[in-house]
Every structure is written in structure tokens, then in C-alpha cells.
Copies of this chain bind each other. A is one copy, B any other.
């Protein structure tokens, strides 16, 4: 069977479905927490993680130092389907994303961006239909507050482990991380599970008792 494309996943899957499948395979810590929300709840996002690890700083860059060096390197090396995922810690001071990075990423075919930090230029980003998942909105630039210290390393974003190349899927319900090693298995199981979901929903809409429907389809 041909591998499923990111486009096909976006059209077929939804976040809760993949989360249930990951649960059923024993991977129960793959969903980003409710504090990380999409900027635009209409968009569905599927991409491969390009990770970045921020550190807090408390002084402006020294003369001659480019605080954006690794950010530029990461963005300029994005391939279609890539998806920057940033670990920003918990100080709430780091806002790594905005309209410029969204534009630069989108022209390179990036699938979206995910971070447990802040984002700005939100109306502009929404107008672009570029999917961004974030932990808050604020006007502050990262300069003098945080620097991207490492890229393409394992990180934790919102408490969930993300390795470079992991599949990241997001929609209005949130965001899940599918480790690369089990991606094929997750996709196959998700396709299967979709059938039970649809049968359950139709039976409930028809007014059947939840108890009977659950007995028949085993899905809730």
C-alpha cells in the first residue's frame, strides 16, 4: 500500500480519531494540552516536525551577535510538509512566531507551526490561512527575551515529546504527535476505526439508545 500523503490525512482524519488510536496502541501521552490552541479553528494541519529549543535570556544580544541565526537557518531549510515545533519553556516570556515567519514558512510549503510559546500578528496570520498552534497571544518580540538555542533535536512541547520527523496533526480539537516509528500502524488503525465512528453516529442520529449502539459498534 502506498504511504498516505499529508494532504490525504488532512482530508480524512481528525485529531480525536488519531488520539483514540494512539491510546489504543498504548501511546497515551501524545496530545498537546488544552492550553495550546489553534489560531484558526477552521484549519486542519498535518506535517513533519522540525524541532527548535528556545532558552530564556535577560539581556539584549551583544554587538555583532545575530540572535535570529538559528531561526533563519531553520526557516530557510524548510521543505514542503515540514512543520516547525518550538519548545519555549514556562516563563511565558518567549513569543517566537509572527507574520514574517509565517510568510517565510508558507512560501516554502511548510505545513504550519506549533509552539508552547506566544504568537503575534494574529490577524495577518489568519488571513494567510497558515495553521499555527500556540500557548498565547502577545505583542512581544523574542529579542532580548529568548533565543533559539538548538534545532532538530528531541524536545518537549507542552509536555509532549517531539522528535524531528514525527507526524504532527492538528485541528480545532487540538494537536497530537505521532512518533515516526509507529506512524504506519497508526494510519492503518485510524482508517479502520473511522468506520465504527460513522456507524455509531448514524445510529445515534436515528434516535437509538446509546447502550444499544455501544453494544453494536464498541465506540464511544
Contacts and interface: CB of A to CB of B under 8 A. Distances in A.
A154 B68 contact: no
- One complex includes copies of this chain to the number of 6
Contacts of A59: 153-154
B37 A201 contact: no
A201 B56 contact: no
Nearest to A154: B59
Given A37-B137, A89-B91, A100-B201, 6 more contacts: A31-B140, A58-B153, A101-B220, A122-B173, A137-B172, A139-B174
Interface of A: 14-16, 18-20, 23, 28, 31, 33-35, 37, 41, 53, 55-59, 66, 68, 71-73, 75-76, 87, 89-92, 98-101, 103-104, 107, 118, 120-123, 136-141, 143-144, 149-150, 153-156, 161, 171-176, 200-201, 204-205, 207, 209-211, 213-214, 219-220
